[in-house]
Amino acid sequence: MAAKKTLAPRINEISLPELSPCRAEELEAEGYFEAKSLVGQDLSDLDLSGIQFVESALEDINLDGTKLKAAAFKESTLSRINAAAFSAPRGRWADVRLENSRLGSVEVYETGFNSVIFSNCKLGYVNMRGANLLDVIFENCTIDELDLGNAKTHRVSLPGCRIGRLDITHASFQDVDLRAADIAELTSPESLAGATLTEQQVMFLAVSLARNLGIRIEG
């Protein structure tokens, strides 16, 4: 019987309509913005909780300290986003591409991600605790620490990513492909069930796995 292959993320194509320009002063918490283009805007420290962007493009935007709790991004692209502190917990991301961005602390815990790509981003501490990730790709990203504690992940891959520390405490994995990721440190390797690794990665993680199983290594 052939071994079951790891399923790849299923990413929907994003096709934006004709967009109309939008400026920072037009935005508001709980607002609904469809087919908008925001370019070169400073949204730092604004309270935009519950805002919704649908079929929109955000480019060269400062989101440092912006309050984006429960914000929704749907069928949208975000590029060259900058923030030392990016706070968007308990939100919804569906059919979204975030690329060429630099974010320090990223608070997106308990957020739903569906058909999302993070591409060519430099990220600090990424808090995805309790998040739901379905069909998500991190590609060519540098991540200081990725915290997936208690997260549910299905069809996730990380090709070309370098991760300083990956915390998967009590995470649930299904078709999570870590083979093309460079992971320096892994927390709670006992939660790796449902992940796919190379033989070399398993050998590298052997010491950590042994310690978590209570095995003493001597000699």
pLDDT the model gives residue 3: 58
pLDDT the model gives residue 31: 97
Residue 2 has pLDDT above 60, yes or no: no
For residue 131, give the amino acid letter.
A
Tell me the whole-structure pTM to 2 decimals: 0.92
- Each residue of 30-75: pLDDT tens digit? 999 999 999 999 999 999 999 999 999 999 999 999 999 999 999 9
- Domains of the chain (ranges, CATH numbers): 20-212 (2.160.20)
- Each residue of 161-218: pLDDT tens digit? 999 999 999 999 999 999 999 998 888 887 888 999 888 888 777 776 777 667 777 7
Q: Are 71 and 50 in contact (CB under 8 A)?
A: yes
Select the more confidently predicted residue: 1 or 109. 109
